[in-house]
Amino acid sequence: MNKNNLFEGTDDMLLDKLSQEFPVLTDEEKERIFAMSERKYNINKNNEKVNTNYKDFSADNEVKGVEQYKRPMWYKTLSIAAAAVLMVGGVAGSMMLMQHGGTRVPTTNIEETTAATTDATEPTESTTEDVSEYMAAALELTDKLAHYENVLYNHDIAVDENDSLTFTMHNYEGKEHEEHYVRVIDPEIQSGNDLKNAILALCTDEFKDLLYNDSGEYDEDNLVFNICDYLYSSGYFINDFSGYENGATINNYYKTGSFITYNDALYVCTNYMERDADYYSSEPEIISHGDDYFEATRMTVGPCINHFGCPDIKVGTKATFQFKKVDGKWKINNIKTGRSVEAWALAAVNHYFNNVCTDYSPDELDIRNDQNEDGLITKSFYDKLIDNYRILKNDSDNSCRIYCIIKDKEGKDHLEFTADIDFLIDDDFGFMGDEDYSEYFSFSNVSIKEIR
């Protein structure tokens, strides 16, 4: 029987019937293909964004060493756009970086928690074995978490825009402003408690305890995902505006909130509303697993994780999710964060020109922290680089290739720097800048071109 001829001429209608009556894909195959399609979609989406800015840039045509070349035309556009982003994000970014002292990689904690939750089950290193069950659970739970966090942070929830409320509010200085609210029509979330419970339903009891302890305070070091900021901060869900007429003035700025209830219905503020914000830049990767336990990593670009203020994050920060089976259902048992690729890459650039590069003195470049007479940093190295770089590619949070414009002391674009950077160690340290970070970074395929 010739299999190629037997089904020759099969039209779409028959194919539809055949696929319904004789489906062939196993669950594992479906998950694999779905993950592949999502990965391609995300890569395509990211590439489109990068290509918009980098359409004239070809990393393959670089020449190592130093050479003269003319600044590409696209750079002007990039600088203007990036400067606009910097105005809103850069200052906050540098403040966060300096205050928090860089990203945290609490690997010790992860191991300890792993030991506590796995009991007798020995975690196995993932190879090519079947991890489809873990993959499916990781996808479902991390995507749900992202969805709810986008609801909380970006007010990304189904609404009826025709059912709206407007109140005039007074801020703490007594100035008036209008707040607009639209009715939430997501059947799953009809109250603040629905949302809170939906998120907590993803978590084990241990993780809930980490999120919020009995003293009413959360452990900031243990939680970079800022769920609890929203779940437990006072005034977030509790404001009931039913006592006010639509359009009324409310002389109490404490009552301003993202969600309100009005005549038993839930309304969300239209401020900061953003649809379909990116949350992850990669698919889950299963890194260890046992019968009732597994760990997966995923690069996150979401708003509820601390990327140290880097604007326009494309790669983001590695989150390590720990999952535990409770009563036959997988739940999130902890979330830890790894390196913020963008923040580490910028620290590496600062280190390169301070300690590695011999062709240019850091005194000629605007690469170091500015300090006042008292030795306080007035403008950090981070602020100087943050609007002029792109991560061209990355391997999780282990390495990346960066493209960066370095300015001279007059603030003019001086060098184009491209390099592969390996992040060498896991450590909890702060990037103050202008120090020797040789043990943290190694560089290869370095290209420096002068811009004139």
Partner 1 sequence: MKDTELRQLMAQSVQKCHRAVFDNYCNYVYAIVINVLRSCGTREDIDDCVSDVFMKIYKRFDEGIDFSDNLKSFIAAVSRNTAIDAFRKITLRNNKNVSFDDEDMEELRSEEHIIENSEKKEQSRIIFGKIKELGEPDSTIIIQQYFYNRTAKEIADSISMTAAAVQKRSSRAKQKLKALLIEEGIGREGLV
389 pairs with which residues across the strands?
404
Q: 48 near 404, Cβ under 8 Å? A: no
Please give the backbone phi and psi of residue 108, each rounded to the nearest 5 degrees, phi first: -60, -45
Binding status of residue 14 toward partner 1 by CB under 8 A? yes
Beta bridge partners of 330: 325
The correct pick among 157, 231, 392, 405 for binding partner 1 (CB under 8 A) is: 157
Instruction: List binders of partner 1 among 209-238 (CB under 8 A).
Output: none
> Interface with partner 1 includes 33 (CB under 8 A)?
yes
Asked whether the beta carbons of 191 and 263 are under 8 A apart, the reply is no
Distance, in Å, from the CA atom of 193 to the CA atom of 179, rounded to the nearest integer, reads 22
Other beta carbons less than 10 A from residue 344's beta carbon: 25
Rounded least distance, CB 3 to partner 1, Å: 4
335 Cβ contact list (under 8 Å, min separation 6)? 207, 223, 224, 225, 319, 320, 321, 322
Cβ partners under 8 Å of residue 323, min gap 6 = 134, 137, 138, 141, 293, 294, 295, 296, 330, 331, 332, 333
Interaction of residue 5 with partner 1, rule CB under 8 A:
yes
Min CB(45)–partner 1 separation in Å: 8
Q: How far is the CB of 44 from partner 1 (least distance, A)?
A: 6
Among the residue ranges 35-43, 127-135, 307-315, 406-414, the one whose residues contact partner 1 (CB under 8 A): 35-43
Positions in 168-187 near partner 1 (CB under 8 A): 186
CB of 331 to partner 1, least distance (A): 19
- Which residues in the 241-300 window bind partner 1 by CB under 8 A? 275-276
**Type of residue numbered 78:** L
Beta strands in 226-316 (DSSP E): 249-250, 259-262, 265-269, 285-290, 293-300
201 binds partner 1 (CB under 8 A): no
Nearest CA to 418 out of 382, 452, 384, 444 is that of 444
Select from 147, 170, 325, 379 the one that contacts partner 1 (CB under 8 A).
147
| Separation between Cα atoms, residue 43 and residue 447, nearest integer Å | 25
Residue 19 contacts partner 1 per CB under 8 A: yes
Q: Which is nearer to partner 1, 32 or 407 (CB)?
A: 32
The minimum distance between CB 208 and partner 1, in angstroms, equals 23
What counts of helices (H) and strands (E) characterise the chain? Answer: 11, 17
Binding residue for partner 1, selected from 97, 98, 146, 421, defined by CB under 8 A: 146
Q: Which of 17, 64, 76, 393 is close enough to bind partner 1 by CB under 8 A?
A: 17
Closest approach of Cβ 363 to partner 1, in Å?
Answer: 48
70 touches partner 1 (CB under 8 A):
no
Q: Least distance from C-beta 186 to partner 1, angstroms?
A: 6
User: Which residues on neighbouring strands pair with residue 166, listed in sequence order?
Assistant: 180
Q: Using CB under 8 A, count the residues that bind partner 1.
A: 47
One-letter amino acid for residue 42 of the chain: N
Ranges within 119-138 binding partner 1 (CB under 8 A): none
Q: How many CB atoms sit inside 10 A of residue 144's CB? A: 15
Nearest distance from C-beta of residue 20 to partner 1, angstroms? 7
The residues binding partner 1 (CB under 8 A) are 1-12, 14-26, 29-30, 32-34, 36-38, 40-41, 44-45, 143, 146-147, 150, 156-158, 186, 275-276
